[in-house]
Protein backbone atom coordinates (compact mmCIF):
# COMPACT_ATOMS: atom_id res chain seq x y z
CA UNK A 1 0.00 0.00 0.00
CA UNK A 2 1.24 3.45 -0.92
CA UNK A 3 0.36 6.46 1.21
CA UNK A 4 -0.83 9.09 -1.30
CA UNK A 5 -2.39 12.00 0.63
CA UNK A 6 -4.70 13.07 3.44
CA UNK A 7 -8.43 12.42 3.19
CA UNK A 8 -8.99 16.18 3.42
CA UNK A 9 -6.83 16.80 0.33
CA UNK A 10 -9.56 15.61 -2.06
CA UNK A 11 -13.06 17.06 -1.69
CA UNK A 12 -16.17 15.02 -2.48
CA UNK A 13 -16.72 15.02 -6.25
CA UNK A 14 -13.06 15.66 -7.05
CA UNK A 15 -10.03 13.63 -8.09
CA UNK A 16 -6.24 13.95 -7.96
CA UNK A 17 -3.48 12.39 -9.99
CA UNK A 18 -0.52 10.58 -8.44
CA UNK A 19 2.43 8.54 -9.62
CA UNK A 20 2.91 5.64 -7.24
CA UNK A 21 4.54 2.27 -7.62
CA UNK A 22 5.64 3.28 -11.12
CA UNK A 23 2.05 3.84 -12.25
CA UNK A 24 -0.04 6.92 -12.95
CA UNK A 25 -3.31 6.75 -11.05
CA UNK A 26 -6.31 8.91 -10.24
CA UNK A 27 -7.78 8.91 -6.74
CA UNK A 28 -11.42 9.98 -6.54
CA UNK A 29 -13.52 11.09 -3.58
CA UNK A 30 -17.11 10.05 -4.26
CA UNK A 31 -20.05 10.45 -1.90
CA UNK A 32 -19.54 6.92 -0.53
CA UNK A 33 -15.74 6.91 -0.25
CA UNK A 34 -12.43 6.89 -2.08
CA UNK A 35 -11.59 4.96 -5.26
CA UNK A 36 -8.57 4.66 -7.56
CA UNK A 37 -8.14 3.85 -11.26
CA UNK A 38 -5.42 4.05 -13.84
CA UNK A 39 -5.01 7.63 -15.06
CA UNK A 40 -4.98 7.00 -18.81
CA UNK A 41 -7.96 6.18 -20.99
CA UNK A 42 -7.80 2.70 -22.49
CA UNK A 43 -8.87 4.06 -25.90
CA UNK A 44 -5.83 6.09 -26.97
CA UNK A 45 -4.10 6.39 -23.58
CA UNK A 46 -4.97 10.08 -23.09
CA UNK A 47 -4.62 11.35 -19.53
CA UNK A 48 -7.99 11.63 -17.81
CA UNK A 49 -6.74 14.04 -15.16
CA UNK A 50 -8.84 16.78 -16.82
CA UNK A 51 -11.80 14.47 -17.43
CA UNK A 52 -15.15 15.12 -15.80
CA UNK A 53 -16.70 13.05 -13.03
CA UNK A 54 -20.36 12.52 -13.98
CA UNK A 55 -23.40 12.34 -11.70
CA UNK A 56 -23.31 8.54 -12.21
CA UNK A 57 -19.82 8.19 -10.65
CA UNK A 58 -18.13 7.87 -14.04
CA UNK A 59 -14.95 9.42 -15.35
CA UNK A 60 -15.28 10.80 -18.87
CA UNK A 61 -12.19 11.01 -21.07
CA UNK A 62 -11.71 14.60 -22.25
CA UNK A 63 -10.53 13.52 -25.71
CA UNK A 64 -13.10 11.11 -27.19
CA UNK A 65 -15.69 11.04 -24.36
CA UNK A 66 -15.38 7.41 -23.33
CA UNK A 67 -17.05 6.96 -19.92
CA UNK A 68 -15.93 4.47 -17.26
CA UNK A 69 -17.48 3.44 -13.95
CA UNK A 70 -15.04 4.72 -11.32
CA UNK A 71 -15.87 1.96 -8.83
CA UNK A 72 -15.52 -1.02 -11.20
CA UNK A 73 -13.55 0.30 -14.18
CA UNK A 74 -16.27 -0.99 -16.54
CA UNK A 75 -16.83 0.82 -19.84
CA UNK A 76 -20.24 2.54 -19.75
CA UNK A 77 -19.80 4.20 -23.14
CA UNK A 78 -16.90 3.73 -25.51
CA UNK A 79 -15.23 6.60 -27.39
CA UNK A 80 -17.84 8.45 -29.43
CA UNK A 81 -16.57 11.92 -30.35
CA UNK A 82 -16.11 13.07 -33.03
CA UNK A 83 -18.10 10.66 -35.17
CA UNK A 84 -14.99 9.73 -37.19
CA UNK A 85 -13.47 8.17 -34.05
CA UNK A 86 -15.78 5.19 -34.63
CA UNK A 87 -13.27 4.06 -37.31
CA UNK A 88 -10.57 3.74 -34.63
CA UNK A 89 -13.03 1.91 -32.37
CA UNK A 90 -12.99 -1.01 -34.80
CA UNK A 91 -9.24 -1.34 -34.17
CA UNK A 92 -9.40 -0.60 -30.43
CA UNK A 93 -12.29 -2.45 -28.84
CA UNK A 94 -13.66 -1.28 -25.48
CA UNK A 95 -11.39 -2.08 -22.54
CA UNK A 96 -12.03 -1.48 -18.85
CA UNK A 97 -9.87 0.72 -16.63
CA UNK A 98 -7.68 -0.90 -14.02
CA UNK A 99 -8.95 -0.23 -10.52
CA UNK A 100 -6.92 -0.40 -7.32
CA UNK A 101 -7.84 -1.14 -3.70
CA UNK A 102 -8.02 1.92 -1.46
CA UNK A 103 -7.72 1.93 2.33
CA UNK A 104 -8.03 4.70 4.86
CA UNK A 105 -5.54 4.69 7.74
CA UNK A 106 -6.48 7.45 10.15
CA UNK A 107 -6.58 10.53 7.95
CA UNK A 108 -4.41 9.04 5.19
CA UNK A 109 -5.48 7.54 1.84
CA UNK A 110 -3.53 4.46 0.83
CA UNK A 111 -3.65 2.71 -2.54
CA UNK A 112 -2.42 -0.77 -3.41
CA UNK A 113 -0.44 -0.37 -6.65
CA UNK A 114 2.22 -2.52 -8.22
CA UNK A 115 0.50 -5.80 -7.59
CA UNK A 116 -2.40 -7.38 -9.47
CA UNK A 117 -5.12 -4.72 -9.97
CA UNK A 118 -8.67 -5.46 -8.88
CA UNK A 119 -9.87 -5.42 -12.52
CA UNK A 120 -8.27 -5.25 -15.92
Domains of the chain with bracketed CATH: 2-111 (2.102.10.10)
Higher pLDDT, 106 or 90: 106
Q: Which helix (H) or strand (E) holds 100?
A: strand 99-100
Rounded-to-integer distance, Cα 37 and Cα 40, Å: 9
Residue-wise pLDDT tens digits, 52-77: 999 999 999 998 889 999 999 999 99
Nearest Cα residue to 100 out of 73, 115, 118, 120: 118
d(CA 52, CA 60): 5
User: By 3-state DSSP, what share of the chain in percent is helix, strand and coil, each rounded to 5?
Assistant: 5, 40, 50
Mean pLDDT value of segment 2-17: 97
Quick: pLDDT tens for 28-40: 999 999 999 999 9
Amino acid sequence: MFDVCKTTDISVGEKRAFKVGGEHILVYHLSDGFYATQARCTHLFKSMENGDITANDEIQCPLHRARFDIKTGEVNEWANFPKAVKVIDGLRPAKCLKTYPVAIDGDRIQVLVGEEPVST
